[in-house]
Structure formats: C-alpha cells, structure tokens
Amino acid sequence: MKIKLDGFVLAIIAIVITAYFFPNWGSKNSPVPLSLIGSIGVSLIFFFYGLKISPEKIRIGLKNWRLHLLVQSSSFILFPILVMGFYPLISNESNHTIWLAFMFLAALPSTVSSSVVMVSIAKGNIPAAIFNASISGLIGIIITPLWMGLFLQETTTDFNLGSIYLKLLTEILLPVIIGMYLQRYLGDFVRKHLRYLTLFDKAIILLIIYKSFAESFTEHVFNSVNFSDLLLILTAVIGLFVVVFLIIKQIAKYLGFTLEDRITAQFCGTKKSLVHGTVFSKILFQNTASAGIILLPLMLYHFIQIFIISIIAARFERQI
C-alpha cells in the first residue's frame, strides 16, 4: 500500500526548520506584529468555522447520544486520565514541561476535517462524525482551559482563568456565534471557496507555530531536550494513540455499536485538533518561552494520527 505524505505535515517541518535558522521575526523583539496578525487570523478562522457549522445537522445528530457520549468522553476524560497517571513520575522541571505538553495534548478537542474524511473513506457513520467533530471544538473552548488550569496555576503565577476565558470568548467563541448567525447569508460563499479558506486556516496555524518555535529557539528552551528525549516523546505519542484506539474499540463492542458507529467512535475519539491546539497554546502559554515544547507532542501526534488512521481507513474501505 502506498502512503502519501501529508502536505501540511511537510509544511510544519519546514516552518520549524525556518524558525530554527531565522528566529528573529518571531522573537519578542520582532518588528513584525505576528501576535496581532495571529490574533486576527484566529478570529477569522473561527468565524469561518461558525459559517460551516450547520445547526440543523447538530440538532439531528443529537439522537445518537451513546456514540456522542463515548467520543466526547474519550476526548476530554479518557485522554487526560491516562496522561495524569504519569504525573507521579515527574522528577525535574524539564520532565514537568514535557508532561504538561502531553496534558495539553490530552485535553484538546477532536479535529474536524480529517476525522470526517477518514470516516468517509472507512465507510463509517458520516453524519455522526460531522456532529462530534463540530461539537467537540465548542466543548473544548470550555473544558481544555479547565483541565490546564489545574496544573498551570501551580507553575504560572500570572495564570488567570477569568482572563483566559475572556480571550477565548472574544477571539474564538464570539466569532463562531457571529459566523453561525450569518450562515444564511454567507454559507454559499464558504462552500464555494472552501479550499481557499482551508489554505488560510493552515497559513495562520503555521504562523503561530513559527512564532512559538522562534521564541523557544531564541530562549534556548530546546537545549534541555536531547535526541533520546525526542524518541521517548514519539514513542509515548504512538503509545497514547494505540491505547485510546483499543479502549474505544472494546467499549464500542461492549455497547453493541454497529461497525459504522464503531469506526466513527474510534476515528473521532482518538483525533486531536492541531488548529485548536495552536490557538489555545497562544492564549494559555502566551507569556512562556516553552511554547515550542508544549506544541511538540501535539505536532508529532498530528502526524501519527494521520498516518495510522489513513492505513486503518484504507483497510476498512477494502473490507466493507
């Protein structure tokens, strides 16, 4: 079977390399206002996200509540609990930062586009995938900061959950609501230019990644992470994905799900959104130089989930 490399993954690798060799534009002393550009771009991303959400499909999707409960519980309860189990093993500040990065990964919502595409390839329950991927992003605006607040308050003296939610409200939730309200007027425009809007989303994400890594490289944050640490992080990312995938499979079988619902549960329940991750990191870790390390497990997970799910989806496609 021939596996195609995801172009966005290659772009992420290229932007990290660029940040390493040319960090000045992304540093705190940069003459280019990347933070302002990123904030405006984030608001536009979620404005377009609101334009794409169908309230009617969300209402229809509520019927399959057991499937939705499994997917959302996997995203926001199972993942964090698994990562929290390793908290007692933290021995130094470097390990704590890496663990915090995994906790951030675990607390994120599911991704939208790739979940739906992969479920479609595998012949799963597509309407349920659309519902879960869409609603997960909205739930994550509330749940992800709550999870991270439990641990960031211990290490960040200026962490204020109220100000975090205010930023999430103004930069993310409010644009989504406005987009949903204007959907009747601009919905056709979004569907017609979906490809270009996707490119815009990815461009903003790459900009945030560049800034995060440029600041980390400037502050020499990655000096504490060697090659063996990187291999360990990659192994842990793969292990986390496989464990959650198998747990969801067993729960879905126990609940008597159809094959289509099981595919949707496993595909949506194991995915993590790079879009939400980069956006949330910009708000939650805006005053820390370790933002690059915080995003590292998420970016590796993004590659792993695309790679593994692509193989599994193709196998389901041949079998069904």
Q: Is residue 203 part of a domain?
A: yes
**Residue 306, both tokens:** 């695309």
pLDDT in tens, 21-78: 998 888 777 778 888 888 898 889 889 888 887 666 666 666 788 999 999 999 999 9
Q: Is residue 18 part of a domain?
A: no
Q: Is residue 275 part of a domain?
A: yes
pLDDT band at 293 (very low <50, low <70, confident <90, very high): confident
pLDDT band at 306 (very low <50, low <70, confident <90, very high): confident
pTM of the model: 0.85
How big is the chain, counted in residues? 320
As a whole number of angstroms, the distance between CA 162 and CA 168 comes to 10
**Half-sphere exposure (Cβ direction) of 308: Cα atoms closer than 13 Å:** 17
pLDDT band at 154 (very low <50, low <70, confident <90, very high): low
Please name the residues in contact with 293: beta carbons below 8 A apart, sequence gap of 6 or more: 97, 98, 101, 216, 221, 222, 225
Q: Is residue 78 part of a domain?
A: yes
pLDDT band at 165 (very low <50, low <70, confident <90, very high): confident
Q: Could you tell me the residue range of the domain that residue 126 belongs to?
A: 34-319
Q: Is residue 79 part of a domain?
A: yes
Q: Is residue 202 part of a domain?
A: yes
**What CATH code is carried by the domain that includes residue 261?**
1.20.1530.20
pLDDT in tens, 199-244: 898 898 899 889 888 888 888 778 777 888 889 999 999 999 999 9
As a whole number of angstroms, the distance between CA 209 and CA 250 comes to 36
Q: Is residue 221 part of a domain?
A: yes
How many structural domains are present in the chain?
1
**What would you report as the CA-atom Rg of the chain, rounded to the nearest whole angstrom?**
19
**Residue 66, both tokens:** 């057991």
pLDDT > 70: percent of the chain? 91
271: left (phi over 0), alpha (psi -120 to 50) or beta: beta
